[in-house]
Amino acid sequence: MEQRTYNQYCATARTLDLVGERWTLLLVRELLTGPKRFGDLQHSLRGLGTGLLAARMKHLEREGLVRKVTLPPPARTPAYALTQAGEELGPVVLAMARWGLKWAMGEPLEQETFHPGWGVLGLRACFDAEAAAGLHALYEFRVGEEIFHARIDDGAIETVHGPAQHPDVVITIGDEVFRDLVASRSTLAEALGDGTASASGDQEALRRLHQLFRLPHPQSRSAAPAPAE
């Protein structure tokens, strides 16, 4: 597959030459939460055919954004991981997520897939570092069949797939209710209040949780005036 290029000696154009093709940044998004097997990527990106996925991974590997690794025991299976250059695309992907939550999300469409595991990066995108000052807590989220956790360390956050060891707070919530939170149709406090979500653990850490993640208020692109000069 021939790589398309803008043929511009410009940093933005050169970057888009590398990651501007369809599916490429979504593959980076998936790998930002840790190494993934080929099958894991297929499962998360429904609609991306096997041949195109293989071509995209070869491209990313050839361009030094992805490398092949072997998962540790007990898996011991081949997988893909980001290189340093790939990892440094993280802020770009998170900035796009924040922009999308404000300007692009709207109501979920019937044909759109939704994976609660995408919340691993979503937590980082919505994290309020100032609200987390002085807080040291470990939160585990059980969303449907997905489990992931967030470690807060005095204004810094680390989010990881899988259960936490000795979490301070455990939040349990269904897939559809979690999607409603992402779509700003509900809040965690409302879900806890009406029983569609539950929480257990340290009450002070739970109280702080409500302040740590701030979804931007959705806005209409067509109705947004340009800022005054």
Quote the pLDDT of residue 139: 97
Helix (H) or strand (E) holding 15: helix 11-19
Torsion of CA 163, 196, 29, 96, to 10 degrees: -140
Number of neighbours of residue 181 by Cβ within 10 angstroms = 20
User: In percent, how much of the chain has pLDDT > 90?
Assistant: 77
pLDDT tens digits for range 110-151: 888 898 989 899 999 999 999 999 999 999 999 999 999 999
Torsion of CA 21, 19, 44, 141, to 10 degrees: -140
Cα distance between residue 226 and residue 228, in whole Å:
6
Residue with tokens 């455990």: 170
For 210-228, what is the mean pLDDT?
Answer: 81
For 90-117, what is the mean pLDDT?
Answer: 90
Confidence (pTM): 0.88
Helix (H) or strand (E) holding 93: helix 90-103
Query: Binning pLDDT at 50, 70 and 90, where does residue 222 land?
Result: confident
Helix (H) or strand (E) holding 26: helix 24-31
Residue 34 makes CB contacts below 8 A (sequence gap 6+) with 81, 160, 161
127 and 94 in contact (C-beta within 8 Å)? no
Quote the pLDDT of residue 228: 66
Nearest to 170 by CA among 152, 194, 197: 197
- Say whether pLDDT at 223 is over 90: no
Give domain limits for the chain. Answer: 11-88, 116-212
Average pLDDT taken over every residue of the chain: 92
217 and 187 in contact (C-beta within 8 Å)? no
Quote the pLDDT of residue 229: 64
pLDDT tens digits for range 74-83: 878 999 999 9
- CATH 3.30.1050.10 applies to domain 116-212: yes
Query: Binning pLDDT at 50, 70 and 90, where does residue 183 land?
Result: confident
218 and 102 in contact (C-beta within 8 Å)? yes
Q: If you ran DSSP here, which 8-state letter would residue 168 be given? A: S
Q: Which CATH architecture has domain 11-88?
A: Orthogonal Bundle (1.10)
